[in-house]
């Protein structure tokens, strides 16, 4: 290969690498612009009792027993007063 061909090949590789970096940067800019758009929107109003969340049965049992313990602790402390 001649020196000119080697230089042309190196130049082409650098150009392709630069274009790839620009593509990655454009993707990042689009991502962050979309994120900013989402954060600029106000949080929608909702009522907490309207929110329904599925919880696995094992976790629901732990949560309900923890809530019962808290309720028992509160009633015991109110009786002491």
**pLDDT for position 71:** 58
In a structure prediction context, what are the per-residue pLDDT tens digits for the chain, which is 81 residues long? 799 999 999 999 999 999 999 999 999 999 999 989 888 888 878 777 777 778 788 887 877 777 666 556 666 666 655
Cβ atoms of 70 and 62 closer than 8 Å = no
**pLDDT for position 1:** 77
Q: What span, in angstroms and rounded, lies between the C-alpha atoms of 78 and 74?
A: 6
Alpha-carbon Rg of the chain, whole angstroms? 30
Q: What span, in angstroms and rounded, lies between the C-alpha atoms of 65 and 71?
A: 10
- For the chain, domain boundaries: 3-43+55-80
**pLDDT for position 38:** 83
């Amino acid at each position: 290969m001649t020196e000119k061909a080697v230089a042309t090949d190196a130049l082409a590789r650098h150009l392709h690498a630069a274009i790839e970096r620009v593509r990655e940067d454009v993707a990042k800019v689009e991502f962050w612009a979309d994120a900013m758009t989402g954060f600029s929107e106000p949080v929608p109003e909702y009522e907490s009792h309207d929110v329904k969340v599925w919880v696995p049965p094992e976790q629901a049992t732990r949560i309900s027993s923890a809530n019962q313990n808290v309720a028992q602790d509160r009633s015991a402390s109110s009786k002491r007063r």
